[in-house]
Every structure is written in C-alpha cells, then in structure tokens.
C-alpha cells in the first residue's frame, strides 16, 4: 500500500468536508444536543499556533461528542470590538514598514494590503483569513453561524442585552479614574498594548493628597502611605523649583506645575492663579493634616515635580529618603546657615509610629544603616530600601500608641481608614498618577483622568454574585483548580466599566449614544447569538427586525408569537423556528478559552447569563487551556515571533500538529513549541499508518492470541473514552496513538494473523483516531471501505471480550521472558538451552489455603503439614512468604493461583525458542528433571525457576 502523504490527504478531505453537510448542525429532537464554542479571537493580526491549540481542543471535543451520538453545534466568530482594527488600518494607511512586512510575511498580497487601509477592509480580510485557517486545521466548525461583533445585527443583540441589564438595575453611572490620552480618549496601559508608544509597564498609583495649611493657602504633598501621617516631622521642598498656586473650588493649593496639570484632568474647576518659588517657602511652617502640628518646610533635592505634587511630606521614621535627607541637612552647616534653619532643625527627629517584627520601630534608620546608604543621591539603593520597608510595614506592621484611634491596628486596616477620615474632614483628597511616563501611539501624553459619569455593570450586586457562585459550583469546569477558584473570583469581582467615549468599533450604548460598549462587555452572552446569526446570514432575518420584542421572544419566551410577528414583520414560522433552535441548543455545554480569560471573560460570561437568561439556559461547562509558548514568552499576535501557520502546516501536516496539541502536554500546562518534537509526531503518524496498512494486508487464520488482542483492545477502547469524557485529552491520545499500536505489535510478534479480527480492530482503531487526526482517519477508513469514518459512531466496548485471565496469561509470558533476558544479561552464559521449572503443586495449595482463610496466619501450618507431605521446613518458609505477600500484593497471589503455567509455557515453547534462539525445555518442579544448579525449588507460583546454559 501507499506511503503516508499528509499533504495530499489533508487537501483531499478538507475539500470533501467542505462540500458535504457533515459539520452543519441540524436540529434532531431524537438526539441530545451538545453545544461547544471557543472564545472567539479579537481581530488584531494573524492567528498563531497558540490560538490553534485552543481551537483544536474545541474540535477534539466537538468531534468526539459527535462520534458518541450527540448532535453537536460548533460555531465560531470574530471580535473586532475596540481600537486594534482601527489602529491596524491606520498603520497600513501610513505605510508603516513594520506592519507591511508583517502582512507580507503572512501571505498578504499587494491587493490584500490595499484593502487594509480602512477598518471595514481589515475586518473583512481577517475574518476571511481566520475562517480559512480554521478550515485548514480541519476544524469541524459550522460556518452558517459565523458572526462578528462589528455587524449591525450583532449590535442589535448587544443593545438588547444592555436594555435587559438596565431593566434589572445592573447598570449604574459613577465617577471613574482611568488613563486617558488627550487626543484618543481612554487607553489601556498594558505591556502588550499596541496603542502605546511608551510606558506599558506603568502602574496606576493611588495617592492621598495631603493638605497642609500654609497661611491662606495649602501646601499639598502626595503620599502612598497615608497611615504614616502620625510620623510627619517636616515638608521637603526643592528651593530651586517654582510651584503653581492652583485654585481648586475656591481654595488655593500649592503644587508643581506638572501636578497642577494632572489634577486638572481629575477635578473640575482647577485653575492656576499664581506661582511661588520653592525657596520662598523654606523655613516657614505649615499645619500638618490629622496631627495638626506646625511643621517646618525644609530644603531637599530628591523631590521630583513629576511625581506626586512635587512636594514631599517627611516621615523620617519610616521613609529612608526622608531619613537620609534629614541627616544630610543637619550636617550641612552651610545650607542650614543659608536658609537660617539651624534652630528650626534641632527639634526635627524621627517619631516612631509603626512597629514590625523584622524592622522594629525605626525601620528607616535601621535599613539605611544596614544597606550603608549615605546620600539622598543613591537613588537605586533608596528605592530598594523604600520598597522593603513599605512591604514589611504594610503586611506585618502595627500602629503604635501615638497613632490616636488607630493605635494597635494592623497597618493594612489603618491605611484606608486614616485616608478616609482625612478626606472626610477636608484635610486630604485623592490624586491618581501613573508610575512612569506613558505616551500614546499618537504621541500625546497619557494621564489619569476623571470620567464623572462612567457606565458600569454592577457585578458587585449581591444577588447576582450569589446566584452565579452557586451555579458555578454545579458546572463542569476544567481543570479542577479553576472550578475551585471561580467562585472566589466571582466574589471579588467588582463593578466593571462597560462603555467608553470616543471612537472605536463596537455597539452604541442604547441609553446614551455618546458611549460605545466596551470589548469585554459585548462578548459575554454571544453563544446565544450564534443561534440567531444563522437566520441573519441566510437572509431570513434582517437587522431592523431584531427588536427588543424579537429577542425577548427568542431568548426569554416572552410575548405572543402573533404580537411579535406583527410588530417585527417576521413571519410566525420563522419566529417559532428560531425560538425552538435556541431552546434546543441552549444551554451552552462548553466554553473553551485560554487562561487569560479566567479572571476576565469567564466570570462575566457566567454572570451575564445568570443575570439575563432563565436558569435552564445557564451555561454548563468551562474548559481553560494554557498557552503554547515560544522560548521565553507567550506568543503574541502584536509582537510576532510565531511562524505563519500556513508554513508550519505545510512542513508538518495538520494531523501532526493536531496530535502534537493533543499529546505533547496536558491542556492545563504551558507548553513550549518544539519543532523537533513536532517532527517526531509526524514520524509517529507514519508508524500508525504502516501498522494499519499491515493490519489490512494481513489475512490469516485464528490463533490463541486473538482473544488477547480483543481483550486488550476493548479495555483500551473503554479507557480512551473514559479519558475523553473527563477532558483528559492527552491521556486519551496516548492510548490511541501509543498503547493500541503497542498491543498490535505484540500480537504480530506472537504470530497473530487473523484477517477478520485485524480488519475489525483496524477499522475501530481508525475511528478512535478520528477526533484527533480526522484527515488520516477518513483516508484510512476509506481504505477499509467506510466513507467518512469521522461521521460514524465510535465502536461500543464489548465487555465480554475483556478477560483478566487471558491478559494475565500474556503478562505471565512477558514476565518469564523478562526474567530470561535479565539472566542472559548478567550471567555470562551462552544461552543455548533454557530450562524452565514451573512451581510444585503444593505451593499453589498453600496459596489457596491462605486466600481462603487469610486471618489464620501461621496457624495453617499443622493442617498443611498433614496434607502436603512436604518437609515442614519448606512449608513454613513458603507460608511466611505468602503471608507477607498477602499484605502488599493480594491481587498478584490471586492471579498466580489461577494460571496453568505449564500449559501456557508448553503452548508457547516455539515462540520462546524463536525469541531467544535457544532450545527451551519446560518441567514441573515436582517432577524429576535435569537441574544441575538446583533451581527447581526456587520456583514460585507465577514466577518459575530458570536455568540457562
């Protein structure tokens, strides 16, 4: 027969599947439905092998369930919501050489590229590309249900969803602070974010802006540690700097110009009315918040106008910077004199406020001493010291007695309470900033801005949270670790902003069309929409007909069909058909997605279902897959680093890649892509191919090993199905592609050649392969005379074929062969003749008696001595051994008891002689036989004695 040629096979079958109805889901009330999706991809570039891992797992399950008799719906879609598509189009329009090279490397033609200079073109091109790649991977997707989130019909659905959320009181508006670009509006600050040109690693800092009364004005100082206000001793101001005087709702606040600008984005009515030089403030006093003490303003040069307010409140007990600056100042006579501070500085000493186990009550002093810090210019060391003290203080610190109402309280608790009290009393305010400079792709600066009327979905709602948690516990969630953590995640899940102002792709907010619904929020309930999308795609529905009444009827069963029909213009039959479709396919059985979704998509996916749909339609399962990585990091669409899929597919073959996904690692660990390993899977498929070929070409008669193969195959068949039912994809693939062929090899080795049996098992084996390597399976199936093995049912386990005794016979034989090999290895004998002595019958009798009365122990001795006619010494020795074995290996004893060893070995004498190229003689230890080394007595049931010469 022919050689394994993946390329031609895969093309052939993909073409045939495409022309068939095999993957189209049709309602069949006689079949149980199984509805599975993968989390659809956002459109930001080409798919890579990491995505395909997730999609392929979905296909394994879809194909497996189909072959187990379920009616499977497996749709797909794409998610262009957001600004990735817009920015990609913009870069193409600007002829960005990097993006052009990326597109070309992935096979885009000049024609394609010319189409990509506008968002619509990008969406069109990539949705087509994705669909092609899915088809090329042999995914059994029903494309009749395809949708993407930029389409008008999808928007109709999302608007309905948000109306429902509004009706349930789950939408709310409140102020929100977020990174914004002046030109582009809100932006995400994230290392993988393509819309930033700088500062992706920045973190949002939540400062408390302390207000120090300073005459008619206030000096402001921003701190991350509001609880340390009890230890304030002075303020630090850079005498070289100029500061702005800002009018904030009638009060005058002093801060750096940069801070004033930032504050302007976070508060209304902020206006710079004056300026003041830093040195003008030096030596004066200001009244500190909370402690209401007058503290001096002292000169320092470590302050930074771009951090906080540019002015620092000094807590020398807990802040290494402050401690060292104070020391330096005190010993700098010249400077003290210059500003006339000699007396003022005398009383400024650290005030102990917090105690922690590791750092005592004066941590700053301790750490600068330990780290040998001598100057405020040693920035790196000081940053490290600050971090250390901050962590220790926050987690292990306790407020000391001096801290008023908060004395004795852990720092963790005191922190928020102190801040709250000061804000309520008007002595402080919130101030948000980014930890480093962030620049938008457009070149504009990104700052923290206040959005006063941000829309949120109220995921904090108690009833919703409780219902979702309760339901999550009943769901089928893989892996188990996620099943355990999901309820907790739901618990801490807070309100989440769900819309944004400005221009990007998405659905207009139905209550206020200045807003566009955000990307996480418009992709929670979409499995419900796939069902409807089919009717839109086929032209049976148009978007304008998708009214609130329509969706209410389809998803909630609300309203009379006649009313809905007349209000929407959709005919009754279509309405009823869609409703029936929805009720047939829903609920969703599995939502499969990458681990990045664990704290993002999956919780909101679940909560929106619970919030909006009836209980019977809440999702049943979630499966999370881990990443495929490339040396070091996760593969990223935005950063490239992954080979274009068509190239890889051509080199390895699709079935190879599919087997690689299935078998090289469990779905629940990260896996590093390894070409060498992938190559080995290609070889493995070659081996499988040849084995099947050999099975088909062998046509002999029956033999005793037939029973064994039948037993083993059925056992493995059952095992593989148990694994698949348990989502243990890797284990199932291991059985199918390694364990089964190993048994078939053994069968051939033992001289098996039963043509009918091999045909039967061969075809059944091919069916087992089908979910994993469908192209190869259909090709091999066809050679057995079955068209579309992938569309058949998996074979049923024949329980009667499974036989312990038949299998243990072969195990026994393997054991004996292993012992012989062992001896041949170590004992340097020629191995021309092998003598095997099977145990004496009396030993078997001892085992019988022990198994019959296991509690009697050595008490069995006297009866045995009478009965067996063997010397008591031999009996007691063996009995002791058996009693010992009984504790650890009862099963082994039971098996040994049942074997007719002599018969097995006699039957396979020729085989053994062939294997070892030696003469084999078999005796019972009870008979008188050639035994020059006195081995006979060593024979045990299940383990014969062996002598070789």
Partner RNA sequence: GCGAGGGUAGCCAAGCAUGGCCAAAGGCGCAGGACUUAAGAUCCUGUCACGUAGGUGUCCGAGGGUUCAAAUCCCUUCCCUCGCACCA
- Which residues ranging from 635 to 694 are in contact with RNA (CB under 7 A)? 651, 664-666, 669-671, 675-677, 679-680, 683-684, 686-687
Query: Is 493 one of the binding residues for RNA (CB under 7 A)?
Result: yes
Minimum gap (Å) between residue 151 Cβ and RNA: 15
Residues within window 368-407 making contact with RNA, judged by CB under 7 A: 391, 394-395
By beta-carbon proximity to RNA, the closer residue of 139 and 604 is 604
The three-class DSSP label of residue 512 is: coil
Residue 825 as a binder of RNA (CB under 7 A): the answer is yes
CB of 826 to RNA, least distance (A): 4
The residue (of 250 and 932) whose beta carbon lies closer to RNA is: 932
All residues at 6 or more sequence positions from 249 whose CB lies less than 8 Å from its CB, including other chains: 267, 268, 269
Q: How many residues bind RNA (CB under 7 A)?
A: 93
Exposure class string for 308-344: b at 16+ Cβ within 10 A, else e? bbbbbbbbbbbbbbbbbbbbbbbeeeebbeebebeeb
DSSP 369-426: HHHT---TT-HHHHHHHHHHHHHHHHHH-EE-GGGGGGTT-BHHHHHHHHHHHHHHTT
The answer to whether 334 contacts RNA (rule: CB under 7 A) is no
Name which position in 172, 205, 301, 485 contacts RNA (CB under 7 A).
485
Q: In the set 172, 734, 803, 876, which binds RNA (CB under 7 A)?
A: 734
Among 6, 42, 231, 762, binds RNA (CB under 7 A): 42
CA dihedral 461, 463, 466, 467 (to 10 degrees): -120
Give the max Cα distance, the chain: 119
Torsion of Cα atoms, 704 then 709 then 712 then 718, to 10°: -130
Does 599 interact with RNA (rule: CB under 7 A)? yes
Q: Is 192 in the site for RNA (CB under 7 A)?
A: yes
Question: Rule CB under 7 A: is residue 312 a binding residue for RNA?
Answer: no
Q: Confirm or reject binding of residue 439 to RNA (CB under 7 A).
A: no
d(CA 704, CA 116): 67
Q: 20 or 822, CB closer to RNA?
A: 822
The verdict on 600 binding RNA (CB under 7 A) reads yes
- 834 in helix, strand or coil? strand
* Phi-psi region at 408: left, alpha or beta (left = phi > 0; alpha = psi -120 to 50): left
Residue 917 binds RNA (CB under 7 A): no
Q: Least separation, in Å, of the C-beta of 389 and RNA? A: 13
637-671 burial by CB neighbour count: b if 16+ within 10 A, else e?
A: beebebbbbeebbeebbbbbbbbbbbbbbebbeeb
Q: Which stretch binds RNA (CB under 7 A): 12-20, 220-228, 517-525, 575-583?
A: 517-525
Judge whether 878 and 885 are in contact, CB under 8 Å: no
Binding mask 159-188 for RNA (x = CB under 7 A): -----------------x-xx------xxx
Tell whether residue 719 is a contact of RNA (CB under 7 A): no
364 counts as binding RNA under rule CB under 7 A? no
Name the strand (E) or helix (H) holding 171: strand 171-181
* Shortest distance in whole angstroms from residue 54 CB to RNA: 12
Over the window 55 to 84, marking each residue x when it contacts RNA by CB under 7 A and - when it does not, the resulting string is: ------------------------x-xxxx
Single out the segment in contact with RNA by CB under 7 A; choices: 30-38, 281-289, 845-853, 938-946.
938-946
**Beta carbon of residue 133, minimum distance to RNA (angstroms, whole number):** 16
Angle, helix 379-396 to helix 363-371, in steps of 10 degrees: 140
CB of 931 to RNA, least distance (A): 10
Q: Is 498 a residue that touches RNA (CB under 7 A)?
A: yes
| Alpha-carbon dihedral sign for residues 244, 248, 250, 253 | negative
State which residue, 190 or 383, has the beta carbon closest to RNA.
Answer: 190
Q: How far is the CB of 63 from RNA (least distance, A)?
A: 22
| Interaction of residue 891 with RNA, rule CB under 7 A | yes
Q: Which part of the chain contacts RNA (CB under 7 A), choosing from 29-37, 822-830, 866-874, 901-909?
A: 822-830
**According to the binding rule CB under 7 A, does residue 44 interact with RNA?**
yes
Residues written for the chain? 949
Tell which positions 790-819 bind RNA, by CB under 7 A.
816, 819
Report the SS3 class of residue 113: helix
In angstroms, the first-to-last Cα distance of the chain is: 44
670 vs 867, beta carbon nearer RNA? 670
45: left (phi over 0), alpha (psi -120 to 50) or beta: left
- Name 725's Cβ contacts closer than 8 Å, sequence gap at least 6: none
């Amino acid at each position: 027969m022919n050689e394994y040629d993946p390329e031609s096979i895969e093309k052939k079958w993909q073409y045939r599947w495409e022309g068939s109805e095999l993957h189209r889901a049709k309602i069949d009330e006689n079949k149980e439905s199984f509805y599975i999706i993968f989390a659809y991809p956002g459109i930001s570039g080409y798919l890579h092998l990491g995505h395909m891992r997730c999609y392929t797992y979905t296909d394994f399950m879809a194909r497996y369930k189909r072959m187990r008799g379920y009616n499977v719906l497996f749709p797909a879609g794409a998610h262009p919501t957001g600004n990735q598509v817009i920015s990609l189009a913009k870069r193409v329009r600007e002829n960005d050489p990097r993006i052009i090279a990326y597109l070309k490397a992935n096979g885009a033609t000049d024609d394609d590229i010319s189409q990509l200079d506008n968002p619509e073109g990008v969406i069109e091109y990539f949705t087509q590309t994705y669909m092609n790649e899915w088809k090329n991977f042999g995914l059994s997707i029903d494309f009749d249900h395809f949708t993407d989130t930029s389409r008008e019909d999808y928007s109709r659905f999302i608007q309905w969803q948000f109306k429902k959320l509004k009706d349930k009181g789950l939408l709310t508006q409140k102020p929100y602070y977020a990174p914004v670009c002046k030109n582009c509006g809100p932006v995400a600050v994230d290392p993988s974010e393509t819309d930033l040109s700088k500062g992706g690693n920045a973190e949002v800092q939540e400062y408390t802006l302390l207000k120090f009364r300073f005459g008619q004005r206030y000096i402001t100082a921003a701190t991350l540690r509001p609880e340390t206000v009890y230890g304030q001793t002075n303020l630090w101001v850079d005498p070289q700097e100029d500061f702005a005087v800002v009018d904030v709702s009638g009060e005058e606040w002093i801060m750096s110009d940069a801070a004033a600008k930032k504050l302007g984005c976070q508060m209304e009515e902020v206006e710079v009315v004056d300026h003041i030089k830093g040195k003008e403030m030096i030596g004066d006093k200001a009244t500190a918040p909370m402690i209401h003490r007058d503290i001096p303003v002292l000169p320092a040069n470590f302050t930074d106008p771009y951090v906080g307010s540019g002015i620092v409140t000094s807590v020398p007990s807990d802040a290494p910077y402050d401690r060292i600056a104070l020391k330096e100042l005190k010993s700098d006579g010249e400077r003290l004199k210059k500003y006339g501070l000699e007396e003022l500085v005398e009383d400024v000493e650290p005030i102990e406020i917090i105690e922690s186990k590791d750092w005592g009550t004066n941590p700053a002093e301790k750490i600068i001493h330990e780290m040998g810090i001598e100057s405020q210019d040693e920035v790196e060391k000081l940053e490290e010291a600050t971090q250390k003290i901050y962590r220790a203080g926050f987690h292990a610190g306790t407020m000391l007695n001096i801290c008023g109402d908060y004395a004795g309280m852990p720092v963790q608790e005191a922190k928020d309470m102190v801040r709250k009290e000061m804000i309520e009393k008007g002595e402080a305010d919130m101030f948000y900033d980014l930890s480093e400079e962030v620049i938008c792709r457009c070149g504009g600066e990104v700052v923290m801005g206040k959005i006063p009327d941000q829309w949120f979905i109220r995921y904090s709602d108690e009833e919703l949270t409780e219902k979702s948690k309760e339901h999550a516990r009943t769901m089928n969630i893989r892996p188990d670790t996620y099943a355990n953590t999901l309820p907790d995640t739901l618990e801490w899940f807070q309100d989440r902003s769900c819309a944004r102002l400005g221009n990007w792709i998405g659905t207009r907010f139905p209550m206020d069309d200045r807003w566009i619904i955000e990307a996480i929020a418009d992709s929670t309930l979409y499995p419900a929409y796939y069902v409807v999308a089919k009717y839109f795609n086929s032209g049976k529905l148009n978007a304008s007909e998708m009214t609130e009444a329509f969706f209410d009827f389809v998803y909630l069963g609300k309203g009379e069909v006649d009313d809905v029909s007349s209000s929407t213009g959709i005919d009754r039959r279509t309405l009823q058909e869609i409703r029936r479709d929805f009720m047939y396919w829903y609920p969703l059985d599995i939502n499969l997605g990458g681990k990045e979704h664990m704290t993002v998509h999956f919780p909101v996916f679940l909560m929106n279902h619970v919030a909006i749909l009836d209980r019977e339609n809440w999702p049943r399962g979630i499966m999370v897959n881990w990443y495929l990585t490339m040396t070091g990091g996760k593969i990223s669409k935005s950063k490239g680093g992954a080979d274009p899929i068509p190239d890889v597919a051509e080199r390895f073959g699709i079935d190879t890649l599919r087997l690689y996904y299935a078998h090289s690692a469990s779905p629940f660990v990260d896996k590093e892509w390894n070409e060498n390993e992938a190559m080995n899977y290609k070889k493995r498929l070659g081996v499988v191919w040849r084995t099947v070929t050999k099975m088909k070409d062998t046509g002999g008669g029956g033999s005793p090993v037939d029973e064994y193969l039948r037993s083993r195959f059925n056992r493995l068949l059952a095992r593989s199905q148990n694994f698949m039912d348990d989502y243990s994809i890797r284990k199932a693939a291991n059985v199918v592609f390694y364990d089964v062929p190993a048994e078939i090899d053994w069968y051939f080795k033992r001289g098996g050649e039963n043509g009918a049996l091999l045909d039967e098992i061969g075809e059944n084996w091919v069916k087992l392969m089908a979910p994993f390597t469908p192209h190869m399976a259909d090709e091999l199936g066809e050679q057995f005379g079955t068209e579309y093995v992938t569309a058949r049912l998996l074979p049923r386990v024949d329980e009667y074929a499974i036989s312990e005794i038949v299998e243990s016979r072969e195990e026994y034989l393997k054991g004996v062969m292993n012992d012989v090999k062992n001896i041949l290895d170590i004992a340097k004998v020629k191995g021309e003749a092998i003598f095997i002595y099977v145990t004496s019958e009396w030993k078997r009798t001892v085992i019988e008696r022990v198994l019959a009365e296991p509690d009697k122990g050595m008490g069995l001795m006297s009866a045995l001595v009478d009965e067996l006619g063997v010397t008591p010494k031999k009996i007691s020795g063996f009995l002791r051994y058996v009693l010992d074995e009984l504790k650890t290996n009862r099963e082994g004893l039971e098996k040994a008891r049942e074997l007719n060893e002599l018969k097995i070995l006699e039957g396979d004498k020729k085989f053994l002689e062939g294997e070892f190229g030696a003469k084999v003689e078999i005796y019972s230890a009870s008979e008188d036989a050639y035994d020059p080394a006195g081995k006979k007595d060593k024979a045990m049931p299940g383990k014969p004695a062996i002598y070789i010469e």
